Structure 1
Amino acid sequence: MSNLQLSGTAGVLTVSTDGTQRDLTGPEKAAVMMLALGDRHGGPIWRSLDEIEIKHLSLAMSKLGPITPQMLDDLLVEFVTKVSSSGALMGNFDTTERLLLSVLPSDKVNSIMEEIRGPAGRNMWEKLSNVQENVLANYLKNEYPQTVAVVLSKIKSDHAARVLAILPEEFALEVVNRMLKMESVQKDVLDKVEQTLRIEFMSNLTNTQRRDAHEIMAEIFNNFDRTTEARFITQLEEENRDAADRIKALMFTFDDLGKLDSAAIQTLLRGVEKDKLGLALKGAKESVRELFFSNMSARASALLKEDMEQLGPVRLRDVDEAQSYMINIAKDLAAKGEIMISKNKGEDELVL
């Protein structure tokens, strides 16, 4: 639960309600955040807490009293600012290990850290068997053939075969010869190889896969309705303009669908419910509407326009939900490789 306490129990958030000052402690901040997230988005967090943490959080939540929109806004802006500010919140292996050592036995901590530093597996060789072959081959090609022979002799044979097939042919043949001549490997040699892999390969592999906090926050902002999104962006711009700009650059909005090519639009249309499409386009820019209309048959386009006219005035919330639905469909298609999404920021092209 400490991750939810923002600035911790030592720091408080001073807000004003009915003319009086009120301070929120770390657990109270966590309680407000969990209430704001609700059961849908907060469920995974609740499931990760132990019984004592749940009791502490529930107690703080039950005693919160009224939380005004301004209080919630201030808290979320503080949270985003803390996460986005360099050095304000820093989660890495070292800080995690130090925290765990303060509450758990060292052997338990070592076991936990070994698990989270790399791919799943009970030991180093099982972990290596879960690393993509091209990633492992790219690392091993710079090692001594004898070292590579030791590594490949310890991982699963099917995985070793795929790695060997990727390695440069002459180098791979040398590794095969070393494996054929290799006798039993002494324990101290194996230990040294394991240590080197853990320090030089596994930790770097995990570091490269770590997600940027701004990317996570951009996904959260993508799930806001446009009114809430505008409110937080405006306040964040006042507190931390750099962070706000980075988040906006990473966000994928409905307008970005207007940058899809014709093939992608047609693929998207096949996966979208017609009533959702009409509702989403009802609140879209004219250029985005025309892009979708132009990639439909004349009859289908005419029917859709007629349906949109019959809708009459619609609630902004309903439009936001329909557009979020289409954005999620587009992201799912991109993840499957069926379409390509581009933000057109400079020369960068992103497949989400």
Structure 2
Amino acid sequence: MSDDDSYSSHLAPVERAAILMLTLGESDAAQVLKHMGPKEVQSIGTAMSQLKNVSRVQVEEVLSDFLESVGDQTGLGVGADNYIRKMLTEALGEDKANGLIDRILLGGNTTGLDTLKWMESRAIADIIRYEHPQIQAIVLSYLDADQSAEVLKFFDPKVRLDVMLRVAALESVQPQALQELNDILEKQFSGSSGTQTTSMGGVKVVANIMNNVEGSVEGELMDAIKEVDEALAEEIADLMFVFDNLVDVDDRDLQTLLREIQPETLVLALKGADVRVQEKIFKNMSKRASELLRDDLEAQGPVKVSEVEISQKEILAVARRLADEGTISLGSGSDQMI
């Protein structure tokens, strides 16, 4: 059977992981999930609940592919540090992996901070509300960008500005500072710390958080940052990937992205989009699909700006996920590898 004819080749990676988890049994699957973060657990759990009519052939192919992958990529006989660094960088991308690599290889213990990733955003905001702004900045730098954006909306505008400026200026954190922060967040702290600093924060982190905040908050915060430091505001804006930037995405990558988007989400998102973005998307669809989308747009009545923003952010979230997985590039076509 060719790859094109393979049943499992049509499954998304998360669906393949879900099938694997279901074949392990409750006890073994639980042990695997213990080593995953909250987003991975939620994503795989959702996929598991939505799986229906999985054939024996699909299960066998998923298991076969998994065993082959394990056999090819084992770390036995390879320097552990190099293996861990390579594995995490390949899985998460260099930006996301660096901080985690430091904490693993330097013996850092961030149990208290990791606990926050499982909490509701409002609860996190309440916990750090009265802490020093520098501690708030470290926490927001540590959390994933979308979670930080949710936490940020529970702060007053002045606090948002102060904290985001501190995140932008943050480059590294001493292990002792992380240890003290963990002492605050978790009474029982254990583990030794290395002598190197841990990379954290920076303008890129601010840009990622800004990509995830609500449109009104984003505009208000960017204006406030511009008043304090215009050059910083421009640097943040340059690093942000917004919906209009889809016009610069390579055609093939855009087609991959569009296959992941529900038609109703796309219609809402395009309702408030720049004409250039609309035409770019029309161009990368089949003639029939393009005509249907145009008809749906024309038939769509007035919609709330907030609904358009939600749909656009949903598409951007998928785009960033695909980019993090290495499936697409969010740069322009001229920057593609050949």
State TM-score, norm by structure 2: 0.49
Which has the bigger relative contact order, CA under 8 A and spacing at least 6? 2
**TM-score scaled by length of structure 1:** 0.47
Name which one, 1 or 2, has greater alpha-carbon Rg: 1
